[in-house]
Each structure stands twice: as structure tokens, then as C-alpha cells.
Chains A and B, each alone.
Chain A
Amino acid sequence: MKTLYAVLLALTLSTPPALAHHGWSGYDGDKTMNLTGTIREAGYEHPHGYVKLEVPGKTWFVVLAPPSRMENRGLQRAALTAGKTVTVVGYPNRTDPNELRAERITLDGKTTELR
């Protein structure tokens, strides 16, 4: 039994919890950020879409909404492409300094709520 606990503990502690992006609680809602930059890479993917957003001095990994929700709200796959200038409003990840969860995104003059 002791061995089992040791194994479980080792498994649980062996990797840093740097992956979380499902819930909003992993993001600091008190630090609203407003970023405008260029999309370097975009994914219209499950469970969440994303863009790699280049702003002066940094590239953010911006987590968006599930693709089905984005499509519902009028943000089509074809609109989310590299090279475009976009603005996102969102909150930084509490542990990953390069990740941001977007509340809304503005591109082609159109704002889409993502929550």
C-alpha cells in the first residue's frame, strides 16, 4: 500500500501544472489585458481555438472558445488566419506567463464574445 501511495504521489508531482486551460479560474480575472497584434498561427480546434499573437516584444498563446461556439457567434474558420491584425481582451494564465484566455476578439472590424 505504501508503494502504491508513493507511486501516486510521484505521478502527481512529477509534472508542473502548466497545462490548464479549460476553466476560467486558472486565469487572473483581475488583470484584464488588451492586446493588439498580428496572428502568427491560428487553430480552429477542439477543445478551444487559439491564436499565437505577436505583439511588440512578445508572442502570446491566446486561448479562444470551442470552434462550435465561435462559428455560432459568427467568427468563421476562414476569418481566423495568420497575418491578420487582431485585438483581444483577456486574462493572463496564473502560472504560464505566455498564455492568455480571451474574453473577446476583434478582427475585420467585428467583435466576437468568446465566453
Chain B
Amino acid sequence: MIHDPQAAAWLVWLESSALAIAMRKWMWLYPAVEIAHIIGIVALVGGAVLFDLRLLGFSRSLPVATLARHLLPWSRVGLGLMALSGALMFAAHATEWAENPAFRLKMLLIIAAGLNAWAFHRWPFRSVAGWDREVPAPLRARAAALLSIALWLSVIACGRLLAYL
């Protein structure tokens, strides 16, 4: 059943695709994809938030650049897993999610979080050698860290709430 046959053609097409039908009808595919999505959140948000906490001044003995090399690749793996599993879940109910306010807000928040991470690496992180250990990170780095935590926690909240709105 297509949730909203009057929706945009590409959404109807996506929701009618074999992949979307498999998502809805195969007994264990949907829950498996949901599990992958949660593992993705853990890797992405776990890595990002732990790095942000270091930027905010926790555990200043840990070198920021080393920590970034350790944590952020796992965040990227998590992002890939989330995008893949998220796309499958979106396809399963494309016309429904596309008009869900929590889903729309979630997509905007993800874009904002991505831009924030990009800006952090583009500007304050360039000078990391100067504040790698034992000194406070520059204000712009701390602001990016705070924004990152706020955005990712909001993404999680929207992700959960979209099933209830």
C-alpha cells in the first residue's frame, strides 16, 4: 500500500520499488536495518560527542589531533552506515516520511551538523598544533563543539520522534 499516492512522483516510485516492498514485507529486514541505524548513531554521535567534549576542555592531557585521528574515522563509518540504513527506511515509507515534520527538521539538522563539522575543520582545527594539549581550545572551536553536541542530540530526538508525529 502506498501511503500517499498523490505525493511527488519520485516518492511514489521509491515507495513502490522492489527494495521498499522488501523492507515492508520481509520479516526481519526492517528490524535488521533499524539495528544497523542504531549502531551507526553510536559510532557517529559517540565519536563526535567525545571529541567535542575534549574541545570543551575535558581531559586536556589528551592531544586533540591524536584524538581526532582516533575518533573521527569511526564517526565517518557511522555516518555511512546511517546514510545507507536511513535511505532504506526512507524508501520503505517515502511518501509518509517526506511530509513528516520531524523528518524534515531532522534532515535540516543533519545538513547543519555537516556544515558545522566542515567549518570546524576548515578554520579553527587548522591551528590545532597551537592548542593540542593542556591549553583551552579557541573560542570558535569550543563554539563548534557545543553546536555539534546540540545538533546531533537534536538529530537523535527527531529520529525517534518522527515515528510519533
Contact = CB atoms under 8 A, between A and B. Distances in A.
A, B in one complex: yes
Interface of A: 7-8, 11-15, 17, 19-20, 22-23, 25-26, 41, 43-47, 50, 67-68, 71
Nearest to A67: B27
Chain B residues touching A, range:
20 to 34
26 contacts: A8-B105, A11-B101, A11-B108, A12-B101, A15-B99, A15-B100, A15-B101, A17-B165, A19-B99, A20-B165, A22-B164, A23-B163, A25-B164, A26-B164, A41-B1, A44-B25, A45-B24, A46-B25, A46-B30, A47-B30, A47-B163, A50-B1, A67-B27, A68-B27, A68-B28, A71-B27
A68 B165 contact: no
A12 B163 CA distance: 15
Contacts of B45: none
A46 B1 contact: no
B27 A12 contact: no
A11 B105 contact: yes
Contacts of A50: 1
A11 B106 CA distance: 11
B145 interface: no
B31 interface: yes
Kindly list the 3 A-B residue pairs having the minimum CB-CB distance in the complex, ordered from nearest. Answer: A46-B30, A22-B163, A45-B24
A46 B23 contact: yes
Nearest to B26: A46
B14 to A, nearest CB: 16
B164 A12 contact: no
A9 to B, nearest CB: 10
B165 to A, nearest CB: 5
Contacts of A43: 1, 24
Nearest to A50: B1
A57 to B, nearest CB: 22
Interface string B85-105: 000000010001001110011
Contacts of B25: 44-46, 67
Contacts of B29: 46
